[in-house]
Amino acid sequence: MPLELLTPTIESKSRDKFQKYIELHESIINKNENETKRITFCVTCGAGYGNKVYTLISSLVIAILTDTAFIIEWPQAQKYFNPSLYKSLSKNYHINQLNYAHSTNLIIEAMSKNDWEYEKKISELINKNLPFGHDRYQYGDCRALFFTLCANSNYFKKFLDYDLVNADIIEKANEALQVNNNLTESEKIDRLYSVGFEVGSNLMNKVWLLETNFKNYINKFYDENFKNFYVIGMQFRFEYIDDKDVFKFIDCANYLVELNSVSRSVKWFITADKERVFDILKNNSGILIKGEGLLGHIFYDNENSYSRSIMDNELLARSDEMIISGGSTFGFVSAMRKHLLPYYVEGRREKDIGSDKPCRRMTFNRGPRTYHGISLI
């Protein structure tokens, strides 16, 4: 799948309704310095790539809902990304500049106790509102606030107006919010979280665009290694899995080949936070695809791993199917880029409870979790 299909540029007003927000953002940024510039600041948290993207998308949703411009505090990302929003990723802007001190920013906190919970509750998801009427907003939490905000029916129209969600998803979400319906709690939660997944995926692919040279570098790697093969991406997070869990991924990959009646030659794209996965998989070395650069999913370990982490995440999204580690935000962010929920393996468990299959596609309630029971959203 060409990368351009995953990260489309904004081509014209008539073809993309999101152009309206791009123009609003640009008009605010281009105001004179003596004019009030209404801005939402994204201050990315100190964790890994997946958590940082959660912060980014949540902040962007806040900006859209409050009709403010969007500025990202993430200087390391400038080398790899060129967002479609003018000057949104710029070393010239900081949270305490543009005529406002840090203390004037309204800091938005995460709003739902559902965050990271395996068993989510509908009562913790609905009627969570943003405070409107402020000039400056700031979000810096690692939690995916955008799922909570996108479940609020008061905001559905704006998401539709910007073409960030399909009407059928909104229709199903509205049905879930009706008092009299025959849906289970899990079905209601899945429908409401689907709005956030749709909005988040679309925002990633409309805004969080790769820098041209870096995109070309990834495209070249894709053409040389992925093309003409059926590629299953496997994402190993050894903080949440054991070495023996690697073989559950193999069982899942074989299951997916059979499930999809694959006739092409199969390859596995491997991304992990530990190099030892390649020793474990040495008997399968002939079908492995390995990225380039310093391995790492978590930036606080080594910032030199940025290139490989982002490249791996993008390539994982371009696999025909992906299998992620339960609890991994890195894997889930790649699934958002792909705009398709992933298959998953929960580590350090005997089997996936309630299933006779080696793996299954993710749901939002009782979704992929760590062995501690912590969900990835």
Provide the edge-to-edge strand list for the sheet that holds 343-345: 288-290, 266-272, 230-236, 321-325, 343-345, 360-361
3-state secondary structure of 324: strand
Q: 245-277 pLDDT, tens per residue?
A: 999 999 999 999 999 999 999 999 999 999 999
Model confidence pLDDT, tens digit, residues 179-189: 889 999 999 99
To the nearest 10 degrees (0 to 180), the angle between helices 329-338 and 185-207 is 70
- Decide: helix, strand or coil at residue 210: strand
Distance CA 174, CA 13 (A): 29
Strand partners, 42: 72, 139
Residue 276: strand, helix, or coil: helix
Rounded-to-integer distance, Cα 191 and Cα 112, Å = 17
312-347: per-residue pLDDT in tens?
Answer: 999 999 999 999 999 999 999 999 999 999 999 999
Residues pairing with 231 in the sheet: 267
Does the domain formed by 212-361 have CATH 3.40.50.880?
A: no
Greater confidence (154 vs 349) lies with: 154
C-alpha closest to that of 53 among 163, 139, 167, 125: 139
Give every CB contact of residue 353 below 8 A, 6+ residues apart in sequence. none
What phi and psi, each to the nearest 5 degrees, are found at residue 136? -135, 130
Q: Which of 126, 168, 162, 131 has its CA nearest to residue 147?
A: 126
Mean pLDDT of the chain: 90
* Minimum mean pLDDT range among 163-177, 229-243, 253-267, 282-296: 282-296
Could you give the CA distance from residue 217 to residue 49 in angstroms, rounded to a whole number?
A: 20
DSSP reduced 3-state for 194: helix
Q: How far apart are the first and last CA of the chain?
A: 27
* pLDDT at 102 exceeding the cut of 50: no
Strands (E), 162-294: 230-236, 266-272, 288-290
* Contact between 345 and 241 (Cβ < 8 Å): yes
| 100 has a pLDDT exceeding 90 | no
What is the reported pLDDT for 304? 74
Mean pLDDT of 74-93: 86
Task: Report the DSSP pairing between strands 360-361 and 266-272.
Answer: unpaired
pLDDT tens digit sequence for 123-135: 999 989 999 999 9
The CATH 3.40.50.11350 domain(s) of the chain lie at: 212-361
Q: Choose the weakest-confidence range: 88-97, 267-276, 321-330, 368-377.
A: 88-97
User: Using CA atoms, how far apart are residues 199 and 193, in angstroms rounded to an integer?
Assistant: 10
State the Rg of the chain over Cα. 21
Query: Average pLDDT in the 215-244 region?
Result: 97
Taking the whole predicted model, whether its pTM rises above 0.85 is answered as yes
For residue 296 the two structure tokens come to 């790492």
How does strand 343-345 pair with strand 360-361? antiparallel
pLDDT mean over 135-161:
97
- Tell me the CB-side half-sphere exposure of residue 229, using CA atoms within 13 A: 19
